[in-house]
Amino acid sequence: MDFEFVIKKLLDGFKKHGIRCAAIGGYALGLWGVERATKDLDFLVHSDDSEKLHQLMTSLGYKRIFDSENVSQYQGEVFALWGYVDFLKAQRPTARKILADSAEKTAASGEWKMPAARPEDIIGLKVQAIANNPDRREKDAADIAALLEISRMEGRVVDWKKIESYYRLFSMEEQFKILKERYAAAR
């Protein structure tokens, strides 16, 4: 996948069609300074924009390979260039708040900015992924740790109350306590 090419096309399309979105997943981790290999792009998109999004993606030559109330996944016609792009549909107030709170981050080679979920919200999505599929725990826990470590190294203030609310939402309070003891004390 040619990330710079695809991101430029997507960002232009999102803006043109008024599609509310924010980067999440591996690429978003990179926008916040966490080095992690990824093979696709993941976005949170306002559920009311789903039809506009589908029109955009098909106009770019993508084929929808999965669609549900919560998720849409697209594969590019020329896979080596366009790759996979996944969209998590923001329907609930918490997800829509993540969109509203997203930050503009410099993307690719510094040529443009794109909205990205904030680190605490990326952590919340990782907690949800672990709750939905415990087999993801090791990978997602490593991403959470990397986000907290880079925040510490860069002197960014971490909103522990927000992170705790995500862990509480998925009945993972004990894991939150361990996480906070490990990373809040390291400041």
Q: Which of 168, 170, 90, 180 is nearest to 134 (CA)?
A: 170
Burial of 178 (0-12, 13-18, 19+ CB in 10 A): exposed
| Overall domain count for the chain | 2
pLDDT for res 186: 52
The CATH number for 96's domain is 3.30.460.40
pLDDT for res 79: 77
139 and 102 belong to one structural domain: no
Containing structural domain, residue 139 = 118-187
pLDDT tens column, 77-129: 887 778 899 999 999 999 999 999 999 998 766 778 899 999 999 999 999 99
pLDDT for res 185: 64
pLDDT for res 61: 92
Identify whether the C-beta of residue 41 lies closer than 8 Å to the C-beta of residue 23: yes
Low-confidence stretches of the chain (pLDDT beneath 70): 108-109, 185-187
pLDDT for res 187: 47
pLDDT for res 83: 86
pLDDT for res 107: 77
Half-sphere exposure for 4 (CA within 13 Å, toward CB): 6
108 and 150 belong to one structural domain: no
108 and 125 belong to one structural domain: no
82 and 124 belong to one structural domain: no
